[in-house]
Amino acid sequence: MKISVHGSGYVGLVSAACFASMGNEVLCVDVDQARIARLRQGEAPIVEPGLDQLLTEGLQSGRLRFTDVPAEGVHFGLLQFIAVGTPPDEDGSADLKYVLQVAHTIGAHMTSEKIVVDKSTVPVGTADKVRETIAAALGARHATLPFDVVSNPEFLKEGSAIEDFAHPDRIVVGAASPRSIELMRSLYAPFTRNHERLMVMAVRDAEFTKYAANSMLAARISMMNEFANIAERLGVDIEQVRKGIGSDARIGYPFLYPGVGYGGSCFPKDVQALLRTAARSGYEPLMLQAVEEVNRRQKASLFQKIQTHFKGELRGRTLALWGLAFKPNTDDMREAPSRVLMEALWQQGARVRAYDPAAMHEARRLYGGQPLLSLCPTQMECLDGADGLAVVTEWSQFRSPDLEDIRRRLKQAVIFDGRNVYSPQELRAAGFSHYSVGRPAVTA
């Protein structure tokens, strides 16, 4: 198939590369000329395992191309995927201006039939707005051309997006037209050979499914963090509780890990957008409000433990920080708990020495002018002269460090473990004070 993908961000680029890997001809469109120039050279602008290889293979085969001319993308593909950003508006609702700009461009330049596929995460009713925008652009040209609008939300996890796309749990397609449904079945057939995973439903149902899925996962995280906060006050080990409840098949283990809150480009934005959608419909979503409030509070919890340990005297102190990205295997720092922690420390006059395997460039872009931040070349070097260590992202390379080396480098043997990476018993034996999430504190 010939496919145009409008947007070369996280969703657009992963989708384009994966479609091309199955033999389709894909043209990826973005108005950012510098970004397109990098992509044409095979330089991925995001960190995602496996993406570099797919990008190189797609370019070398000629099946994956890039353009900064939107009209070229409209003319190229029968399938027109819209995969542009939907950032939060001032009130938290999804801003659809980029989605509707692409819709207008399609209507303004199409000369043949187009199947327009909303891949971006969008509120219920967006397909109707896209359809109206395309129809208006066609009307302005006095043109009558066939088109359809389909919802096909993505369910990709940053850090495993290529694997998720290649081996999906489900493929949700919101469509009514038999032709559109058949085209989508054909497109995704290579990804569902072992088991039929494509689910066809109404367009509005598909749009809501994406928000409901992310809100449900966010709720599990906030619920577990709520349990952890209670457990700390009762002298209970939440990790044992997690195993006890996760073994119940009705609950399961995924997204059942306590920590310092969720971040990234999806959960915070999607929960807020669903909150605003519910409010506009006249419903007060009490549970969604609690999910968001618990997460906001949880992001401040590690700072509170640091402040308590040092008896409120943080000015002039230095904290080492392992992990800047909101999760492992990505460089994404959007809504990351690390940002909340660092900004709180700086406000109290503390310095931060930080390391992350992938997000150093992003941290430099965000905080390059911050005099209280030092970005260190290795995880061990950032410990030198620090008063304590805070672990904020559970990268695998942080899991089994040399504890003796950590003790030698730190001024105080104290670890603030925001992801429950370490065993309290092992750290006690090694002479550390250890503060984690939902487990009794260890003091040296």
Q: How far apart are CA 132 and CA 103, in angstroms?
A: 9
Count of beta carbons in the 10 Å neighbourhood of residue 152: 25
| Four-point Cα dihedral 253, 259, 265, 269, nearest 10 | 90
For residue 162, give the nearest of 26, 38, 41, 13 by alpha carbon.
Answer: 13
Q: Go through 284-315 and write b for each residue having 16 or more CB atoms within 10 A of its CB, e for each that does not.
A: ebeebeebbebbeebbbbbbebbbebbeeebe
**Residue 153: HSE in the Cβ half-sphere, 13 Å Cα cutoff:** 31
Q: Is 28 known to be catalytic?
A: no
The residue to which tokens 């099946």 are assigned:
63
CB proximity list for 408: less than 8 A, separation 6 or greater: none
Phi, psi of 390 (to 5 degrees): -115, 125
Q: Work out the number of other CB atoms within 10 angstroms of the CB of residue 108.
A: 18
* From 18, 28, 266, 382, the catalytic residue: 266
Residues taking part in catalysis: 266
